[in-house]
Amino acid sequence: MIPIRINESQCIGCGLCVSDCPNACLYLEGSRARAAQTGCIACGHCYAICPSGAIRMEDYDAVEEPVVSMAELSSDTLLSAMKSRRTIRRFTRAPVEPEKLAKILEAGRYSPTGGNAQNVAYTVLGGKQAEAEAICVRLFRTGKKLGAPFIDFLKRVEIGDDFFFKGAPLVVVVSGKSDINAGLASAYMELMAESLGLGVLYSGFFVICAKISRKLRKLLDLPKGHKVVSCMIFGYPAVKYRRIVPRKPLQARRL
């Protein structure tokens, strides 16, 4: 069954959906749009562009929402905010409100995915957070004992009980079959979290542990074929940064 339906009584035959379909699944027959029986990826371009609301997406609970253009945001303010962001490693103990978590996950859900695969999953550690961190801490402490004689960094670093999650109240593991899809979702989530006054830490060490530890992967119980792409730690910052940090010169070429 194709994932869209066209209401013939509402279709005005304008052809906008036909010209905007990325997979050429739509065509005009007479004065009405028609859909091919194969090839539709349910991207929703036709649904979004139809001026008469003639298209419905069968497998989705659609709520009619108007489009808000990013152009409505101040580009200067947005750029300054993006330049101002800092990775946070010091958090207060204040919990993240459920409604804020919902917005963060919704931002991830609406991130782009190749071929509209929508194949990114989100695991909120919740009651398993302490257990997951303990697994990682034990693994890294073992690694420190083995590597400290050879690596100066390992001699200096202290691996405390909160080494991975820094005492933050919320950890979300982003997984998928595609690094790019899950990475884009993570970026969307970070921007939303920052707009809500939260700080964010990407734990690369946790991702390493997920690759090494079968016990951790069992605890996460990811969807089949998924791998951990990012581990995002959220909380209210216990530190305030006062100026934008400089960057190396821009490396961009015009060919």
Residues 76, 80, 83, 86, CA torsion sign = negative
Task: Tell whether the model's pLDDT for residue 150 goes beyond 70.
Answer: no
Rounded to 10 deg, the angle between the 204-212 and 129-147 helix axes is 80
Residues 40-80: tens digit of each pLDDT: 999 999 999 999 999 999 888 878 889 999 999 999 999 99
Could you tell me the pLDDT band of residue 187, with boundaries at 50, 70 and 90?
A: very high
Structural domain spans, the chain: 4-57, 73-235
Q: What is the pLDDT of residue 143?
A: 83
Residue 42 near residue 116, CB atoms below 8 Å: yes
8-state DSSP, 128: G
Torsion angle (degrees, nearest 10) of CA 146, 150, 153, 156: 70
pLDDT of residue 62: 76
pLDDT-derived band at 111, boundaries 50, 70, 90: very high
Per-residue tokens: 146: 């083995």
4-57, CATH topology level: Alpha-Beta Plaits (3.30.70)
pLDDT in tens, 120-145: 999 999 999 999 999 999 998 988 77
How sure is the predictor about 148, in pLDDT bands with cuts at 50, 70 and 90?
low
CATH class of this structure's domain 73-235: alpha beta
